[in-house]
Chains A and B, each alone.
Chain A
């Protein structure tokens, strides 16, 4: 075999690379992030005022697997340690580490004189099953006082796939750990290690983003889409939430559930534009956009019911954020301003719990 036989492969790779380069340049000129030209020009609005404490080092690192200010494993009894279990919503690599809402919430509480340490264990693609796995893996070592869950849209993604897709409810726990939404790598359990990293790199390309937005979503509209999530899927979600709460409590932590919020909702008065529909179809090819929004409401209700049954802390962010599309840069991710508002809301909720404790009461 001679190298010249492979000219076709060489040209194919060249054409694809040139296309990617061109699209990345175009995206960069329009202010979007790309592999070649770096992160998006998202402005971090806040956090540098005089007197504000700016941590010098952030995770994740090998020793500190959280996207938050690095803290030592050993803990003092003076501080409250809060673990955030979420997905890309709270990891949000488009926003600097201090700007994501768990970390901003920590800063706000510190300003109020409530010493807290944040463990932001959020990672793109994690459903509550993956969140629980992370908690089992690292929770005992880092010993959080509170474990906060936010992010049910990942579960909606893989429950839709499980019960409305071709596998008829046969759950694979490995697959359930990672969902298929919002920029996360969709795993079909077929690859691991370096091959998975290759997948993630591909999904960061501009070509991929363009194809998913302009081709996949259009095809998805032609599928037979469901208007509702089956009851059995909601029951499965409830089981997952209960397991998560059990794990948190077994670690000696207090679980906190947060209702999930989206840029548009059925309860809101702002109709969802086409771009929102396309976003939903891009990541969930099983439900109609309306069915997706309705399912978010229904899974939020599951969260509320579980919180009620188990007497667990519940922060109703969804109600707080109704009709505020300006706080989102897409249907599920916040703008920097959105992160700030969510942080303030959560800080207010935590302050109500932590202030009495901090005033000398038993912890």
Chain B
């Protein structure tokens, strides 16, 4: 059940309606949200509900014991149980075939003929496993670090792991941020419901109107056959994909944050106009913030972070980014994508994360350069086979000009760029004002938008980050 589907259009209002009926009763409210979250998850594949329930149960039990255990050795052993279980499931479902194939290929290169095909499996990747695994892991790690109290209520903990607005594609919410919200009564008001709805529709606009149209009007066709287009078109398609993936993912995050707000919860922002970054360090403070901060806190810093010798810091950065790339998908292109960002971060060492000052001209060129360096990384992200990547780069280097893209693609690209560069405050203020107009007028706008979304959609394509 994608957020941009007719099912969700019925599911969400139905859940909110029932939620309003049971809102005053704590247990019923939590039970309803948990049931709704599992129904939402099972709409993809009911069998994998057992998997998420298993992860939840193990981490809940580990957490209960960790809460009582004082001996450091045993606490460490409990953490290892959680890590092995969570990362083991992730490795089995997501990476098993990749590693089996890669090992086989490597051995063949070395002249050894070993057949590992029996070790492959044909299970589908459970939707959102990368997200809820990281979310659940953050609980046991923070508990181990004594940063948060143990959660004794199973339903509450299960809801933290499976909360449907952000279950399948984030933002990855920390236990320290979300569990306290579940313990208190949710903060619901008419203003929050209205701004939450506005945020959801903004997300749908980003997804259906901007991301899907960019894909449908040009990006997909160009990436499917890079040899058939001029260099200019190939370049425009990279721009198109850069804004497609931004609007696709930030659109999802907007809907998740908006839906949570309607229900009375706060989820932190996941994006902050990333293409305005002046260097890649800054980019990673603006793009997929919940993942980059998770990697920083639970991988980069434990590896030693930046308080080590320069060579070790470079290694830490590379390792974090390569693993971050691998988190996105079990394929070589994601490893290369992470590697590319690692190199850029190593090169950017010494620059400020959020540089200030300097002239407008310099500001422009820094942003221009950063946008193109990140844009090139999207080539690695999107293209999974080496010959197509070579064809694409070769096509770019022909420096040919052609007009294969329609005016509609260029118009949507221009709108997408404009929307991206609009200051967040302006968006927020506009939304707040809109939320104050009479309900029938808001509803009229939403009904019109639903019709537009439905008409523009080429069959409700899934969000890009669902596959991760």
Q: Tell whether, in the assembled complex, residue B450 and residue A192 are in contact, meaning their CB atoms are under 8 Å apart.
A: no
State how many angstroms separate the Cβ of A199 from the closest Cβ of chain B. 6
Q: Tell whether, in the assembled complex, residue A9 and residue B197 are in contact, meaning their CB atoms are under 8 Å apart.
A: yes
Binds B, one of A210-218, A270-278, A339-347: A210-218
The contact string, 1 if C-beta is below 8 Å from chain B, for chain A 6-47, is: 111111111110010000000000000000000000000000
State how many angstroms separate the Cβ of B380 from the closest Cβ of chain A. 16
Q: A11-B439, A191-B1, A223-B221 are in contact. Are A5 and B190 (CB under 8 A)?
A: yes
Q: Which residues of A contact B447 (CB under 8 A)?
A: 12, 15-16, 19
Contact of B17 among A6, A165, A186, A224 (CB under 8 A): A6
Q: Which residues of B contact A223 (CB under 8 A)?
A: 216-218, 221, 406
Question: Chain B residue with minimal CB distance to A197?
Answer: B7
Contact of B222 among A12, A192, A224 (CB under 8 A): A224
Q: Tell whether, in the assembled complex, residue B450 and residue A216 are in contact, meaning their CB atoms are under 8 Å apart.
A: no
State how many angstroms separate the Cβ of B225 from the closest Cβ of chain A. 8
B186-227 contacts to A (CB < 8 Å):
186, 188-190, 193-194, 197, 213, 215-218, 220-224
Q: Tell whether, in the assembled complex, residue A212 and residue B190 are in contact, meaning their CB atoms are under 8 Å apart.
A: no
The contact string, 1 if C-beta is below 8 Å from chain B, for chain A 182-205, is: 000010101111010011001000
Q: A186-B459, A199-B7 are in contact. Are A222 and B223 (CB under 8 A)?
A: no
A215-259 contacts to B (CB < 8 Å):
215-216, 219-220, 222-226
Q: Which residues of A contact B197 (CB under 8 A)?
A: 8-9
Q: Which residues of A contact B454 (CB under 8 A)?
A: 207-208, 211
Q: Tell whether, in the assembled complex, residue A216 and residue B456 are in contact, meaning their CB atoms are under 8 Å apart.
A: yes
Q: Tell whether, in the assembled complex, residue B44 and residue A190 are in contact, meaning their CB atoms are under 8 Å apart.
A: yes
Q: Tell whether, in the assembled complex, residue B462 and residue A190 are in contact, meaning their CB atoms are under 8 Å apart.
A: yes
Complex Cα gap A165–B459 (Å): 12
Question: Chain A residue with minimal CB distance to B451?
Answer: A211
The contact string, 1 if C-beta is below 8 Å from chain A, for chain B 415-450, is: 000000000000000000000000110111011001
Complex Cα gap A198–B39 (Å): 15
Q: A3-B20, A164-B224 are in contact. Are A214 and B455 (CB under 8 A)?
A: yes
Q: Which residues of A contact B13 (CB under 8 A)?
A: 6, 9, 13
State how many angstroms separate the Cβ of B161 from the closest Cβ of chain A. 21
Residues of chain B at interface, number, CB under 8 A: 61
Q: Tell whether, in the assembled complex, residue B455 and residue A224 are in contact, meaning their CB atoms are under 8 Å apart.
A: no
Q: Which residues of B contact A180 (CB under 8 A)?
A: 459
Q: Does B19 contact A (CB under 8 A)?
A: yes
Q: Which residues of B contact A2 (CB under 8 A)?
A: 20
Q: Does B461 contact A (CB under 8 A)?
A: yes
Q: Tell whether, in the assembled complex, residue B20 and residue A1 are in contact, meaning their CB atoms are under 8 Å apart.
A: yes
The contact string, 1 if C-beta is below 8 Å from chain A, for chain B 1-44, is: 11001110010010011011101000000000000000000011
Contact of B404 among A5, A219, A224 (CB under 8 A): A224
Q: Tell whether, in the assembled complex, residue A224 and residue B188 are in contact, meaning their CB atoms are under 8 Å apart.
A: no
Q: Does B397 contact A (CB under 8 A)?
A: no
Q: A190-B5, A191-B7 are in contact. Are A224 and B459 (CB under 8 A)?
A: no
Q: Does A269 contact B (CB under 8 A)?
A: no
Q: Which residues of A contact B218 (CB under 8 A)?
A: 223-224
Q: A199-B7, A219-B408, A222-B217 are in contact. Are A8 and B194 (CB under 8 A)?
A: yes
Complex Cα gap A14–B13 (Å): 13
State how many angstroms separate the Cβ of B18 from the closest Cβ of chain A. 11
Question: Chain B residue with minimal CB distance to A203?
Answer: B6
Contact of B224 among A166, A190, A193 (CB under 8 A): A166
State how many angstroms separate the Cβ of B305 from the closest Cβ of chain A. 38
**In terms of DSSP, what is the predominant structure of the interface of chain A?**
helix
Q: Tell whether, in the assembled complex, residue A285 and residue B458 are in contact, meaning their CB atoms are under 8 Å apart.
A: yes
Q: Which residues of B contact A207 (CB under 8 A)?
A: 451, 454
Q: Does A361 contact B (CB under 8 A)?
A: no
Q: Tell whether, in the assembled complex, residue A219 and residue B16 are in contact, meaning their CB atoms are under 8 Å apart.
A: no
Interface residues on A, range: 35 or more
Q: Tell whether, in the assembled complex, residue A8 and residue B17 are in contact, meaning their CB atoms are under 8 Å apart.
A: no
Q: Does A74 contact B (CB under 8 A)?
A: no
State how many angstroms separate the Cβ of A218 from the closest Cβ of chain B. 9
Max chain B CB contacts within 10 Å: which of A11, A186, A190? A190
Complex Cα gap A166–B224 (Å): 7
Complex Cα gap A226–B21 (Å): 52
State how many angstroms separate the Cβ of A160 from the closest Cβ of chain B. 11
Q: Which residues of B contact A214 (CB under 8 A)?
A: 455
Question: Chain A residue with minimal CB distance to B16?
Answer: A6
Q: Does B81 contact A (CB under 8 A)?
A: no
Q: A16-B450, A19-B447, A166-B220 are in contact. Are A8 and B43 (CB under 8 A)?
A: no
Complex Cα gap A202–B8 (Å): 12
Q: Does A168 contact B (CB under 8 A)?
A: yes
Complex Cα gap A103–B288 (Å): 58
Q: Which residues of B contact A211 (CB under 8 A)?
A: 451, 454-455
Complex Cα gap A219–B1 (Å): 25
Q: Tell whether, in the assembled complex, residue A188 and residue B462 are in contact, meaning their CB atoms are under 8 Å apart.
A: yes
Q: Does A4 contact B (CB under 8 A)?
A: yes
The contact string, 1 if C-beta is below 8 Å from chain A, for chain B 341-363, is: 00000000000000000000000
Q: Does B285 contact A (CB under 8 A)?
A: no
State how many angstroms separate the Cβ of A90 from the closest Cβ of chain B. 24
Q: Tell whether, in the assembled complex, residue A199 and residue B190 are in contact, meaning their CB atoms are under 8 Å apart.
A: no
Q: Tell whether, in the assembled complex, residue B16 and residue A9 are in contact, meaning their CB atoms are under 8 Å apart.
A: yes
Q: Does B149 contact A (CB under 8 A)?
A: no
Q: Does B409 contact A (CB under 8 A)?
A: yes
Q: Tell whether, in the assembled complex, residue A222 and residue B440 are in contact, meaning their CB atoms are under 8 Å apart.
A: no
Q: Tell whether, in the assembled complex, residue B193 and residue A164 are in contact, meaning their CB atoms are under 8 Å apart.
A: no
Question: Chain A residue with minimal CB distance to B11?
Answer: A195
Q: A12-B443, A198-B6 are in contact. Are A215 and B455 (CB under 8 A)?
A: yes
Q: List 6 A-B contacts (CB under 8 A).
A: A6-B20, A15-B443, A19-B451, A180-B459, A202-B6, A216-B456
Given A12-B446, A15-B444, 9 new contacts (CB under 8 A): A2-B20, A3-B20, A6-B16, A190-B43, A191-B5, A191-B43, A214-B455, A215-B456, A222-B408
A residues adjacent to B (C-beta < 8 A) = 1-16, 19, 163-166, 168, 180, 186, 188, 190-193, 195, 198-199, 202, 207-208, 211-212, 214-216, 219-220, 222-226, 285
B residues adjacent to A (C-beta < 8 A) = 1-2, 5-7, 10, 13, 16-17, 19-21, 23, 43-46, 186, 188-190, 193-194, 197, 213, 215-218, 220-224, 264, 384, 404-409, 439-440, 442-444, 446-447, 450-452, 454-462
